[in-house]
Amino acid sequence: MSSLLKIENLHVNVGETEILKGVNLEVRQGEIHALMGPNGSGKSTLAYTLVGHPKYEITQGRVLIDGADLQDLDPSERARLGLFLAFQYPITIPGVKVADFLRHAISNVRNPERKEGEELMPMREFRTELRQTMKELNIDAEFARRYLNEGFSGGEKKRMEILQLAMLKPRFAILDETDSGLDSDAVRVVSEGLQKLSGPHMGVLIITHHERLLEYNVPQFTHVMLAGRIVETGDAALAHDLHANGYAGIRERHPEAAAEEAAAQEKEELTTTSS
Ligand SMILES: Nc1ncnc2c1ncn2[C@@H]1O[C@H](COP(=O)(O)OP(=O)(O)OP(=O)(O)O)[C@@H](O)[C@H]1O
Ligand SMILES: [Mg+2]
């Protein structure tokens, strides 16, 4: 049976401010969903909440994978349930090579009984699998010996992301690709990599402003977020329309949410000018 990631009436605060105001979303294994919306609408907040970032406080609602509540689970426990977030480890860890990192991550995900510091996946087995996967993805073998994220270009960061996806084989992948600094090489790496890896075993939520990504990975569902709520859901045609025409139509169709968006922006401007 296919797995289900279910987000129910999710309300999330950052400090005193409510950012998500009742998000409902269901992603099934094998489905591709696009999450779009203007800057500041709450898309990354949703992604950070899913991974369990401590700054994002759930005040109401819940997130479930096959009925299991994620609320009290730490990021590695969430990973064991099959959840993957592209920006999960954006940091540079001194002295840790790509291969070491992947061996730890894979050992954690595949052996739920494993505790910190316990045995890792056997080296020989891991190496064979890594070599094979890198070959399939056309990633140079040398890449595994690089230090994690140290001096990575945009394209290399994306190669790392895709390699992680291929090795960890999560049931749900959340990709927050709003980074405006992505060059065309990086966009191509994610677009093609994701196209190769997605399939009936993986549910994908792509957060993006990049049309190319959705051309390679056509979403069955497109959701539009405005002022912390999903205000519309459609198919790939909706994503296409938003790329072509922007969010004016969405704001017109949802005047209440648009007013909330304007009020929040005004408040933010006041706090940034006064501080
Ligand atoms: N850690 C944080 N501290 C303070 N404010 C935050 C934090 N995270 C998010 N916010 C606020 O929450 C709102 C939503 O931000 P979020 O980053 O989720 O938007 P987004 O939809 O991802 O936008 P973009 O398309 O620009 O990536 C913004 O007003 C932002 O300032
Ligand atoms: Mg964002």
- 3-state SS string for 3-68: CEEEEEEEEEEECCEEEEEEEEEEEECCCEEEEECCCCCCHHHHHHHHHCCCCEEEEEEEEEECCE
Overall number of domains in the chain: 1
Is the distance from the beta carbon of residue 37 to the nearest atom of ligand 1 less than 6 Å?
Answer: yes
User: Which atom, in ligand 1's list, is nearest to the CA of 38?
Assistant: 25
Give the CATH number of the domain where residue 260 resides: 3.40.50.300
Q: Considering the entire predicted model, what is its pTM? A: 0.92
pLDDT beyond 60 at 20: yes
Residue 144: per-residue pLDDT: 95
Residues 250, 226: Cα–Cα separation, whole Å: 8
Ligand nearest to the CA of 86: 2
Query: 90 C-alpha vs ligand 2 centroid, how far in Å?
Result: 14
Ligand nearest to the CA of 43: 1
Residue 91: per-residue pLDDT: 62
Strand pairing of 56-65 and 4-14? antiparallel
Chain center to CA of 217: 15
Is the distance from the beta carbon of residue 254 to the nearest atom of ligand 1 less than 6 Å?
Answer: no
- In residues, how long is the chain? 275
Confidence of residue 142 (pLDDT cuts 50, 70, 90): very high
The predicted model gives 212-235 an average pLDDT of 95
The domain containing residue 263 runs over which residues? 4-274
Is the distance from the beta carbon of residue 76 to the nearest atom of ligand 1 less than 6 Å?
Answer: no
pLDDT beyond 50 at 88: no
Q: Give pLDDT tens digits for 161-209.
A: 899 999 999 999 999 886 566 788 888 888 999 999 999 999 999 998 8
User: Which atom, in ligand 1's list, is nearest to the CA of 47?
Assistant: 18
Ligand 1 pocket mutation, candidates 11, 35, 41, criterion most atoms within 8 A of CB? 41
Most confident region among 47-51, 136-140, 253-257 by mean pLDDT: 253-257
From the list 152, 207, 153, the residue with the least C-alpha distance to 179 is 207
Residue 275: per-residue pLDDT: 57
Is the distance from the beta carbon of residue 219 to the nearest atom of ligand 1 less than 6 Å?
Answer: no
Of residues 116 and 20, more confidently modeled: 20
pLDDT beyond 80 at 247: yes
Chain center to CA of 219: 15
Ligand nearest to the CA of 48: 1
Cβ pair 156, 186 in contact under 8 A: no
Express as a percent the part of the chain with pLDDT over 70. Answer: 93
Residue 82: per-residue pLDDT: 93
The predicted model gives 137-156 an average pLDDT of 90
The mean pLDDT value of the chain amounts to 90
Q: How many of the other CB atoms lie within 10 Å of CB of 181?
A: 6
CB-neighbour burial class of residue 117 (10 A; exposed 0-12, middle 13-18, buried 19+): exposed
Query: 269 C-alpha vs ligand 2 centroid, how far in Å?
Result: 18
What residues have CB less than 8 Å from 97, skipping those under 6 apart? 144, 145, 146, 147, 148
Residues 190, 179: Cα–Cα separation, whole Å: 12
Is the distance from the beta carbon of residue 44 to the nearest atom of ligand 1 less than 6 Å?
Answer: yes
Amino acid at 191: S
Beta strands in the chain (DSSP E): 4-14, 17-28, 32-36, 56-65, 68-69, 83-85, 172-176, 203-207, 221-226, 229-234
Query: 262 C-alpha vs ligand 1 centroid, how far in Å?
Result: 14
Which residue in this structure is represented by tokens 């001194």? 94
Cβ pair 51, 5 in contact under 8 A: no
Ligand nearest to the CA of 15: 1
